[in-house]
Amino acid sequence: MALRHHLSHLTFLLFLLSYSLLALGVEDSSERNNVTTIKVGVILDTSSWIGGISWSYMQMAMEDFYTSHPNYTAKISFVLRDLRNDHLGGLNREDDAFGAAVAAVDLLKNVRVQAIIGPQTSSQAKFIVALGNKSNVPIISFSAKSPSISPSRTPYFIRTAWNYSSQAIAIASIAKHFNWREVVPVFEDTDTGNMFVPYLVDTLQENEAYVPYRCKIPSIASNTEIKATLDYLESNRTRVFLVHMSYELALKFFSLVKQRNMDSNDFVWITTYGLTDIVDIFGSNASNVMQGVLGIRPSIPNTKRVQNVAMRLGKKFKLNELHLPTRPTAFGLWAYDTVWMLAEAVQRVKHANLSYKTSKALYNSTDFSNIGVSEMGQNLKSSIESINFSGLSGSFKLVDGQLQSGTYEITYVNGSYNNPVGPLLTRDNVSINWPGNNRSPPRGWQWPTGNRTLLIGVPSKPGFSEFVKPDNTARHNFSGFCIKVFEAAIDALTYQVPYNFVEINGTYDDLVYQVYLKKFDALVGDVTILANRSMYADFTLPYTESGVRMLVPIKDVNKKSPWTFLEPLTAKLWLTTGAFFILTGIVVWFIEHRVNHEFRGNPANQMGSIFYFAFSTVVFAHRGRLVSNLSRLVVIIWVFVVLILQQSYTASLTSKLTVEQLQATVTSIDQVIKEGSYVGYLDDSFMPALLKRMGVNESKMIVLSSPEDYNEALSTRRVAAVVDEIPYLKVFLNKYPKNYSMVGPTYKTDGFGFVFPRGSPLVPDVSRGILNVMESANMTKFDEIVYGSGTFVDKEDTSNSSSLTFHSFIGLFLLTGASSIIALIIHVLFALFRHLKSSTNTEAPQNPLEKDEPIAEGSNSPPMASPQFSDNVQFAVGSPDSESNFGDITSDEGTPGREIANNEIEMPSFGEMLDQTSEGQHR
């Protein structure tokens, strides 16, 4: 065996030597025609599908280019090093990297090529790129996809294919479009696969999806190994897989997938663009086992030029054993455009020097140091990087030694063809016939085989059984508010989720951690959503009211007293009202006393008239006749003010006498801390940490476990307050509604939520189910189960029935005060006007006691002479002066007769005295 191995290598070296001598000994006839021929090495395996197709495209490209450019004086000439097995002395496929390296050394050292197109695979390219950098010879590849080979690190490597990692964005967009939250890469253990997966993981995470695990398959995996891999895939819940393999391994893989019925509508298979063309290569052998498989590939413009090239290639392929694809492939078009690019680049190189700088050999003639350095390489590389044209594959432009990526299109296998979906995914243009003739896309996950029933933990919480409690008569042996909401949310899903409840003990933090350890598939109960708990599990949306408040006893502070009737009005309002009573009485007296005998008399009688008339308006019992229109106006406005005051007073007094006046014993946690009182909290909750943050000393905390404990502790004043979440407090108030109230601010929490393992695909679906339940009438029924049918009002809101204040009636007082002052001013002005008018009278002076009786305005009766009486008889003087319409009286109403009373003459009024004085002065 060793001898046979050495002979095969010796045969291969003799082949290389003879080929090199032939290349050096034959003179290129084109040089005699002033045409410079540039030798370009080509390293391909033409027995492979990609190598065979690409070589055909390259030959056609050179023919088309020089047909289109007949006057070009620099032409490339291909020197092919075919890596077919029979050309390599029987080398196996796994040895192709070694064979490619040997071919590259030969092309650089013996043929002195100025560029190398190829290598075909990334493993071949790794070593050849190093040779190119050493010899300044551009290495151009349209099929070496590994991101580990970067033009930025190897300046003489040029990739005329799209960046392989760019397809990760297209794959992530598919997952996001169909709401697939998890994607598992299934890839061949090669350099390309190992380097691509990290890009995929990062891109998926940026698009709200992630990779739960990775599945690597050896290149020479047997059927047994592949079946073991499929067993593992099926045992997990994720059903979206990205397949990245060689054609031969992928065909074997999908054949076993179909045998195991893993191509049903529960599974999603996506292929990378290197594998998308497998149906075109293997025909029905591939399509039969890949129905419904999605794929991505570069979007190729279907131009007439592309169609013409495809038609000509079709005729050529009939002459060989290769299978012609149904459409031009990206690799073939990139190979075609690569030749056009290189042919144009060599033409642009001025004064090309095709020689190599030789280096001093340190070892034998096979050492790499004897390859030398190309004189033309640097100029050729610069020329290549400046090329920009429209090729068969679209816009051809190099950016940092890499062909600029374009748009990908989505495909799926249906029947015998790989049908394109389109370059973009929108919900309006997706039309995919999924496996099982299903028009709806798979949800992307499924319960693992053999464990399709969820095991859901239910916390044991006897204190508040309204939320969760064992119930053998219930649907799943548990009942309560939380159970009913969960069952309704699961029933709202579009798919079936079987589950069983099991009661578990422990603190809530411990139970959440049990879900993190995957001992349970979920946790359903009164579990509060907290930040530290969310580090270990995922929560659904909350389904209860959120927040923490303080529960305290309340007391009736309305103690009835003999002076309760004074409480509706404040002292300031009482004084102001009394002042306006007196003011109104004085204004009415001042206007009426000259013309109205009811406001006459001695000073005591007149003072009594003022107070009686004013305060009688309180009960609207004023019966005194008003003569002046001014006083009537004042009284009308004042009565309106009194009416408003009376109604407000009555309402406030009724409230104080009949409504229970409740007040909380404490109003804030700060008051509890200041007084050094104790605070109660629910056992097995997060309250101790919250109370510490509020400033409550741990020694002042008392643990309680049920509503009955709350009532006992608060009623006996063992604790001043209980701090707990609002749902628990509402349950308590439903049982003890009269003596307690929630007070103080609400401390924010996120309410109760259902707990699932991190990354569970059920979380968004159950959250949407919760929203549906909360928007339905069922939620009202569920609330009645735990909170009763009553509504909750903080009794502290009714603890203060405040007295009426002066500020509330300031507008009314301004109105009545202004009207009184204006009426008083008008009355004084008219009095002054009469005084001035009477002062201009030229009649003889009269005795003040003998003045004429006034005549009412409009009266035709002559003035009556004042009667003369003896000295021992006195008469009351009661003849008022006549006034204008603002205070005038008629003859029928205005002049009361003189009266004799008690043998005394009544004192004259202020108006009479004023008139008499003016008349005396006139006389």
Helix or strand run (H / E) with residue 16: helix 2-25
Rounded CA separation 688/701 (Å)? 8
At 148, list the tokens. 């580990």
Question: What's the confidence (pLDDT) of residue 443?
Answer: 83
Helix axes 304-317, 49-68, angle to 10 degrees: 120
Q: Name the range with the highest mean pLDDT among 494-508, 528-542, 564-578, 797-811.
A: 528-542
Whether residue 660 is predicted with pLDDT greater than 90 in this model: the reply is: no
The type of residue at 615 is F
SS3 740: strand
Alpha-carbon dihedral sign for residues 333, 339, 342, 347 = negative
Q: Which residue type, as a one-letter code, is found at position 827?
A: H
Share of the chain above pLDDT 90, in %: 31
Tell me the average pLDDT across 146-162.
87
Question: Rounded to whole angstroms, how far apart are CA atoms 11 and 86?
Answer: 11
Cβ atoms of residues 322 and 52 within 8 Å: yes
Tokens of 311: 């038609």
The amino acid at 117: I
Mean per-residue pLDDT, 217-226:
93
> Residue 382 above 60 pLDDT?
yes
* Per-residue pLDDT reduced to its tens digit, 389-399: 999 998 999 98
Q: How confident is the model at residue 880 (pLDDT cuts 50, 70, 90)?
A: very low
pLDDT at 854: 40
For 375, half-sphere exposure in the C-beta direction (CA atoms, 13 angstrom radius) is 10
Question: What is the C-alpha separation between 374 and 357, in angstroms, rounded?
Answer: 6
* pLDDT above 50 (res 384): yes
Percentage of the residues of the chain whose pLDDT score is greater than 70: 75
Show Cβ contacts of residue 709 under 8 Å, excluding neighbours closer than 6 positions: 463, 680
Give the pLDDT confidence score for residue 468 in this predicted structure.
92
pLDDT for 820 equals: 81
Question: Taking CA 426 as the corner, what is the angle to CA 423 and CA 430, rounded to the nearest 5 degrees?
Answer: 80
**Cβ burial 381-397 (10 Å sphere, 16+ → b, else e):** bebbbebeeebbbbebe
Unique residue bearing structure tokens 């006691």: 849
Least confident of 237-241, 242-246, 828-832: 828-832
Quote the tokens at residue 242.
């990205």
Dump pLDDT digits (tens) for 575-607.
887 788 777 778 877 777 777 766 766 776 667
pLDDT band at 830 (very low <50, low <70, confident <90, very high): confident
- The phi, psi pair for 82, rounded to 5°, reads -80, 125
User: CB 307: neighbour CB atoms within 10 A?
Assistant: 12
Of 143, 647, 582, 128, nearest in space to 403 by CA: 143
pLDDT of 380 reads 94
DSSP code at position 863: P
Joined tokens for residue 66: 């020089």
Bridge partner list, 469? 479
Q: Say how far apart CA 391 and CA 399 lie, in whole Å.
A: 16
The residue ranking higher by pLDDT, 225 or 425, is 225
| CB contact at 8 A, 749 and 689 | no
CA angle 277, 282, 285 (to 5 degrees): 120
How does pLDDT run across 365-376, given as a tens digit for each residue?
555 667 889 999
Secondary structure percentages of the chain, helix, strand, coil, to 5:
45, 15, 40
Average pLDDT of every residue of the chain: 78
Q: Which residues contact 638 (CB under 8 A, 6 or more apart)?
A: 580, 584, 617, 816, 819, 820
pLDDT of residue 497: 85
Strands (E) located in 254-317: 268-271, 294-298
**How much is the average pLDDT of 735-760?**
88
What pLDDT is stored for residue 32 in this prediction? Answer: 45
pLDDT in tens, 281-292: 788 888 889 988
Q: Where residue 638 falls among pLDDT bands split at 50, 70, 90?
A: confident
Closest to 138 measured CA to CA, from 162, 121, 118, 110: 118
Paired tokens of 235: 């045992």
Lowest-pLDDT range of 300-304, 647-651, 740-744:
647-651
Longest dimension (CA), the chain: 180
Say whether pLDDT at 131 is over 80: yes
DSSP 8-class letter at 438 = B
pLDDT value at position 858?
A: 36
| pLDDT tens digits, one per residue of 299-346 | 888 888 988 888 888 776 654 555 566 678 888 999 999 999 999 999
- 746 vs 790, higher pLDDT: 746
As a whole number of angstroms, the distance between CA 309 and CA 63 comes to: 12
Read off the pLDDT band of 557 (50, 70, 90). Answer: low
Residue of higher predicted confidence among 614 and 829: 829
Identify the pLDDT of residue 556: 63
Q: Rounded mean pLDDT of 187-213?
A: 89
Band of pLDDT at residue 658, cut at 50, 70 and 90: low
Structure-model confidence comparison of residues 522 and 640, the more confident one: 522
Question: Is the model's pLDDT at 477 over the cut of 50?
Answer: yes
Q: What SS3 string covers 169-184?
A: HHHHHHHHHCCCCECE
- Between CA 238 and CA 607 the distance in angstroms is 101
pLDDT at 385: 92
Q: Tell me how long the chain is.
A: 923
pLDDT in tens, 838-862: 776 645 444 443 343 443 333 333 4
More confident residue, 663 or 792: 663
**Exposed, middle or buried, 509 (CB in 10 Å: 0-12/13-18/19+)?**
middle
Give me the residue label for tokens 């202020």: 910
Identify whether the C-beta of residue 280 lies closer than 8 Å to the C-beta of residue 291.
Answer: no
> Measured between alpha carbons, how far is 565 from 547 in angstroms, rounded to an integer?
42
CA dihedral 857, 861, 866, 869 (to 10 degrees): -130
Write the single-letter amino acid at 689.
Answer: A
In DSSP terms, which residues pair with 445 in a beta bridge?
A: 238
CB burial of residue 265 (10 Å; 0-12, 13-18, 19+): middle
pLDDT at position 724 is: 92
pLDDT bin (cut points 50, 70, 90) of residue 388 is very high
User: Strand pairing partners for 523?
Assistant: 457, 755
Which residues are 682's β-sheet partners?
Answer: 704
Please list the residues that pair with 743 across neighbouring strands.
550
Is the per-residue pLDDT at 653 higher than 90? no
Q: Is residue 75 over pLDDT 70?
A: yes
Q: What is the pLDDT of residues 674-727, one digit of tens each?
A: 988 999 999 888 899 999 998 999 999 999 989 999 999 998 999 999 999 999
Q: Are residues 538 and 753 in contact, defined by beta-carbon separation less than 8 angstroms?
A: no
Mean pLDDT of 212-233: 93
Number of H helices, E strands in the chain: 28, 30
CB neighbour burial string for 710-730, b if at least 16 within 10 angstroms, e if fewer: bbebbeeeebbbbbbbbbbbb
Cβ-based burial of 45 (10 A; exposed 0-12, middle 13-18, buried ≥19): buried
887 contacts 815 by C-beta, under 8 angstroms:
no
Backbone φ and ψ for 209, nearest 5 degrees, come out as: -135, 160
Q: What does residue 720 show for φ and ψ, rounded to 5 degrees?
A: -85, -25
506 Rama class: left (phi>0) / alpha (psi -120 to 50) / beta: left
pLDDT at 298 over 80: yes
Q: Give residue 881's Cα distance to chain centre.
A: 87
* Banded model confidence at residue 865, pLDDT cuts 50, 70, 90: very low
Residue 613 DSSP SS3: helix
